[in-house]
Structure 1
């Protein structure tokens, strides 16, 4: 970390495997751009010698581009990049098409604009934009693809006669899948000889041989920054006699085809890249044959490291520089965090979206949703070397080993049917989150026993792996209620780990002992030196229960000491469970809330089955300060009837997401935003000089921390263990804490959660390790 007063280990060198998003500018290209800015800086439109020198650079680059893409008599126009090229093509084609429309028949004839379903979003969004602006009102239609990502030729043959334009791509940016351009050519022209055809060739440059003049392609945009040139330079091929309308008018540069002073430094850099592609430079790119060998080596290593890996595309119709895969049981974000910790840059599907979501490309290919949600893309360019490939493979193996050491995966070959014993002991509470849902694992290390509450299907395999890896005996797996928003995997886990155990419908074991508390009898399980107490708390559903992990009760009059209250959807963060299901009861919830308060008090930590606002845990004390209805219930300010009326009004406002995700809380909102101290390297260094009591905590997961961390952050408290940390420090909330993660996002969430729960001096390092590298 920059400026921190400590000796730290040297970081792993960066391995960049996100070339389909962008590439680093090669030193030779950067040097050419800099020389142009310093020496050949003239305006190509000027007629003096400096201008003529600039013209020469531009003319050379244009000629190289024509040769590389096989432009023949076609035109090469320099642009700011592929997006501008796409606009140029679509606007030109649609203006020309509009002139041919029969206005009187337009309402009766179904015109359409065709694009591949796996096309970059720039294409369909541009089609929609210009279709509306030009008032053409054609139907923008996606061409389906098969499971290998190949366009449906029968669909094209049927639809293209009524199409005004068709847009396809040479190579897909997420999967590397390439289309058969010759077959496309034949299919399109056999059914519509005059339709305008654009092919996005951005990912093909440097990876495929192109001979555009030998096809009927009308437009082909390219981008320099996908192949080691700077951002802001690109070009478009326009077939001879293809319709053309300038997108940018002005001073008449580019022969009046694209106005604006030319980006000469970008052109000079692009020229160097073209020299390398054409073999006219002392520096050369790796041959395609070697790129295939690199691909094979990386794929073999991935299979070795992650035996259950699933590849999301066929290698038969993909370029060798793209590998798209998913690891069962791990989200794309988890895998990105893992590779980032190993200083390997990969991406989640397309990098043109700021949010990590499912891949529309893989969805279009008909892949299962988990593959789309877990997709990871490794991509490299022709500047890749054998040395970098070897380093990549070493990092992949070390990343997989870090997962094994965290007991998130198991190397069955290394186990030899014995439990791995060199892992760090697992003790206490672990929280697993999938979207807004939570599962909980509690472990008593001394007795090697554990219980699971509200297991989610997405984490079932991970839970069983951790149990096996740590050699834990599962005492019980219990649902807090019958869940409406997902199918519980409790039965499948019980079948594997507790086949002989007899339980009720929620998994509570038969014939458990009872204890008397305040005159009421409660069943309990023993786990080490703790009890797990079962309390009926109906309301959200008729069968709802709360499970209280507490100290053993030695006298019925003793105050119950509760560490965690697993209350399902009775109390949520900034919310109460909804009571408008068929088996719900608002009056019953009123009684349950008062009972729970009597048993656990205001300070015990509540661990619900949902956490919609990333607040991790809460307490009755924290909730009544912001939930007026709960405050009135706990303080006996309202009766059951008034509570039911208020609850009915609140539940009416619940909106289930997209009609598929059932929301279980009645007051879902943005949650509290707690002010926390934000540090950068300089301010943290200064703070540490002034105070020796600051505790620096890395809140990434253990496998990330093991791969790379700042030695100054000696405490590792993963987000999955944050609730355990809160419980352990209930009486120590004055110590100043500074949290760090990969990007600052998780540390900010954790800092806010701690601040909301009464930790008085919490801060985090803004930007995380991404902005404060060692």
Structure 2
């Protein structure tokens, strides 16, 4: 939805910028496929007139394909898509190579390091199946994605096959085919050479017959044809082994009744590429202009943007970029809310993760993790580009709603922050507490990746930073506390973790504890060593009126003392399981069993916990809290617990071993229909939209008037802790966030929680 000046809302039209993943089927191609299914449905292998009419479509499509790719006397074989073509090429090459292997010689199989995963995985598969046991080697690329010719020259003499990519699907970087040809054949005249041309079709000129390429693969659904149709080029006299045997279709090269509707659609696309249609594709020159327009709009929307590839050696239909301070998921969610479709790196994986392509190019980790790909095809029009550019700028302005930018030209007034916010980077957490009345804030366990975001937020909200504190010295990251303190608290004197040295002191149960004031709350510090010797816990509570009173603790920031489903590890050189035993009992004595615990790590997206929630699944913690175990036995069990810690690859150090079951809570799932029916009943259901406020601003259903971003879920839990019987239904973009949040609420005692399966992506009201 879009906010209009008169306050009304209207649906946003779709802006599709993910053509490298797949394209829509053009109306002309769809009509041709439908007509083929309805009137020219004959089996091309039949000798009657209906069959001959069908065969003519195949012959026309084949000839057009040969013209487009410059096949010369080479063969064009129709397949189900590029993956089948890759299997066929690799099987053909390796099946022949096996016949002439020299047992005294070591062989290799080469592929580009930025190649689509279908290639190296297929090489490994057939290498194993055929028992060739050659070494599969990745050809390095330089910082602009070009293959290392020196490496190829050195390795290709022993290569049974080399696989390269004409145009990369993530960056659009194209390879110098002529230079590759020279380098390969100067060092090995006989090795089989396959080229993935999927992203090259319609975007670059191809003349395959003038190269020594043995095999080239293509896929129809990347260029406006239906899924399930593709083709491959096989050079004249190149070795070939059918991947699919059977009825002998495709002159015995690929059996199986041909996909006639798909071929008819492909034939229309080829006519457009060849200029034989009233409708033709946009010229390459115009596509370059389109890319410059989008790049300019992105730069206007995100002035700090970094493009992950050079426009000098990439096709104009692909733009890969990263925005400092934002994860790829945040930008994808933003664009999705604005009805702009983009992807995070390659769309062939459902998980948002680092781009192996950008890693191979040697780009910084943050660029790889934050990469966004925009891609379009040659059917893109000037009107569509203009609409896309306008929408990109509009979407970025919505970030001001969440104070993620300081852009004053925001869509609506910014949302004033209040209470607790949780920020996550990987498995690590930072916590920001804001007192709205005094416009003051504290920042706990500050992560370096959040430095600029916090500064922007403080400026945008006009907040006064009272303190920035670490609960302990972190072994898995460098705190940004010093940088923030220099900018906002230069005159404040603190200890090594940021606790102000001139803080007040209170007495609780006969012991003295330092505290600082934040609005109408106190933040009390207590030493809770165990995970490390310097470990502390920070308790946000109501002011202490009498030394004999129990604390009313709202949040306990306990670092890595208690983790969701575990206890902090105690096998560091600065750890002490004995000290942890005492710290756990002290913490429970001060916060009780129902105060919300906010640790510095959340490895399983559980957001927050309490002692009540933890002792139900952590028997060791339960025994300590209830004094059923002494220190000696605790030491034995804690040592055993730590043996289950498995550190993640890379720099992340796990600060606790998962021992509890974190993902088996069943959540009631609603569909559009069942939720509509439920809302019609007198059950007082409250609908909660869990998307971030910038997503909510750009579009939400009228039923969802309550916006609780995941960053504020812990505050929501606290605010509703006395009303856990209220029926709640949670929704987000895809259903992932709503399911996680629902599990958290159920684990913490909320009784009637469900979520909309599939989220906004699959359901409308």
Name the TM-score class by shorter chain.
Answer: over 0.9
Written as runs of structure 1 = structure 2, the 5 A alignment for 1:12-411 is: 12-103=12-103, 105=104, 109-411=105-407
- Give the SS at the match of 1:522: strand
Q: Is the 8 A contact 2:691 2:709 kept in 1?
A: yes
Match of 1:442 among 430, 433, 449: 433
Q: 1:540-689 residue pairs with structure 2 within 5 A?
A: 540-658=531-649, 660-689=651-680
CA contact (8 A) 2:401 2:412 kept: no
Give the distance between the partners of 1:316 and 1:328, measured in 2 at CA: 23
Alignment partners' CA distance in 2, 1:354 and 1:699: 21
CA-CA distance at 1:8 after TM superposition: 9.4
* Separation in 1, partners of 2:12, 2:516: 48
Equivalent-residue separation in structure 1 for 2:604 and 2:658 (angstroms): 11
Q: Is the 8 A contact 1:436 1:610 kept in 2?
A: yes
Q: Aligned residue for 1:755?
A: 746
- The answer to whether structure 1 residue 433 and structure 2 residue 424 are counterparts is yes
User: Does residue 738 of the first structure (1) align with residue 729 of the second (2)?
Assistant: yes
After superposition, the C-alpha distances for 1:363-400 in whole angstroms (9 at most, x for unaligned) are: 00000111111100000001111111111111111121
Equivalent residue of 2:10, what SS? coil
CA offset at residue 736 of structure 1? 0.6
Aligned to 1:563, the other structure's residue is in SS state: strand
Aligned partners of 1:405, 1:705: CA distance in 2, in Å? 9
Q: TM-score, normalised by structure 2?
A: 0.98
Q: Per the alignment, do residues 421 and 394 of structure 1 end up closer, same or farther by CA in structure 2, a change over 3 Å counting?
A: closer
2-structure distance, mates of 1:523, 1:652? 36
| 2:618–2:659 contact (8 Å) kept in structure 1 | no
Q: Distance in 2 between matches of 1:347 and 1:658?
A: 25
The gaps in structure 1 that reach 5 residues or longer are: 2-6
CA deviation after TM superposition for structure 1 residue 773, in Å:
3.2
- 3-state SS, counterpart of residue 680 of structure 2: helix
> 2: CA distance between counterparts of 1:364 and 1:658?
17
User: Partners in 1 of 2:61 and 2:8 — Cα distance?
Assistant: 47
More deviation, 126-135/546-555: 126-135
CA displacement at 1:100 relative to structure 2: 2.7
Closer, same or farther: CA 289–672 of 1 in aligned 2, 3 Å:
closer
Supply the distance in 1 between the matched residues of 2:94 and 2:509 (Cα, whole angstroms). Answer: 79
Q: Distance between the aligned counterparts of 2:154 and 2:270, measured in 1?
A: 40
Question: How many Å separate the matches in 1 of 2:658 and 2:624?
Answer: 15
Q: CA deviation at 1:405?
A: 2.4
How far has the Cα of 1:229 moved from its partner? 0.3
Unaligned runs of 5+ in 2: 2-6
Corresponding residue SS for 1:614: coil
The CA distance in 1 between the partners of 2:764 and 2:647, in whole Å, is: 42
Whether the 8 Å contact between 1:346 and 1:378 is mirrored in structure 2 is yes
Structure 1 segment 519-558 matched on structure 2, within 5 A:
519-558=510-549
Per the normalisation by structure 1, the TM-score is 0.96
Per-residue deviation at 1:484? 1.1
Q: Is the 8 A contact 1:612 1:668 kept in 2?
A: no
Cα distance in structure 2, aligned partners of 1:101 and 1:80: 31
Deviation at 1:673, TM superposition (A): 2.3
Q: How has the CA–CA distance of structure 1 residues 684 and 440 changed in structure 2, closer, same or farther, with 3 Å as cutoff?
A: same
- CA, structure 1 residues 546+421, in 2 after alignment: closer, same or farther (shift >3 Å)? farther
Quote how far apart the aligned CAs of 1:493 are: 1.2
Aligned counterpart, 1:709? 700
Kept in 2, the 8 Å contact 1:523–1:533? The answer is yes
Question: Within 2, Cα distance between the matches of 1:239 and 1:653?
Answer: 55
Q: Which stretch of the first structure deviates more once superposed, 492-501 or 141-150?
A: 492-501
Q: Deviations over 1:531-587 (max 9, x none)?
A: 000011111111111000011111111221111000111111111111111111111
1:441 counterpart SS class: strand
Higher relative contact order (CA 8 A, sep 6+): 1
Equivalent residue number for residue 4 of structure 1: none
- After superposition, the CA RMSD in angstroms is 1.6
- Counterpart Cα distance in 2 of 1:670 and 1:113: 43
SS of the equivalent of 1:275 reads helix
Confirm or deny: 8 A CA contact 1:446 1:528 kept in the other structure.
yes
The structure-2 alpha-carbon separation of the partners of 1:219 and 1:575, relative to structure 1 and needing over 3 Å to count, comes to same
Deviates more, 1:717-726 or 1:397-406: 397-406
Q: Deviations over 1:616-666 (max 9, x none)?
A: 111111111221111111111122222112111111221212364211113
Q: Name the counterpart of 1:476.
A: 467
Hey, what's the Cα distance between the residues in 1 that align with 2:146 and 2:711?
41
Paired residue secondary structure (2:388): helix
CA distance in 2, matches of 1:414, 1:498: 30
Cα shift at 1:667: 3.6
1:695 aligns with 2:695: no
Once residues 9 and 50 of structure 1 are traced to their aligned partners in structure 2, the CA distance between those partners, rounded to angstroms, is 53
Measure the CA separation in 1 of the matches of 2:92 and 2:643.
51
**1 CA distance for matches of 2:14 and 2:414?**
28
Secondary structure (helix, strand or coil) at the match of 1:495 reads: helix
- Say whether the 8 Å CA contact 1:8–1:711 is kept in structure 2: no
Compared with structure 1, are the counterparts of its residues 672 and 130 closer, same or farther at alpha carbon in structure 2 (3 Å cutoff)? closer
Which secondary structure state, in structure 2, belongs to the residue aligned with residue 690 of structure 1?
coil
Distance, in Å, in 2 between the alignment partners of 1:265 and 1:594 is 71
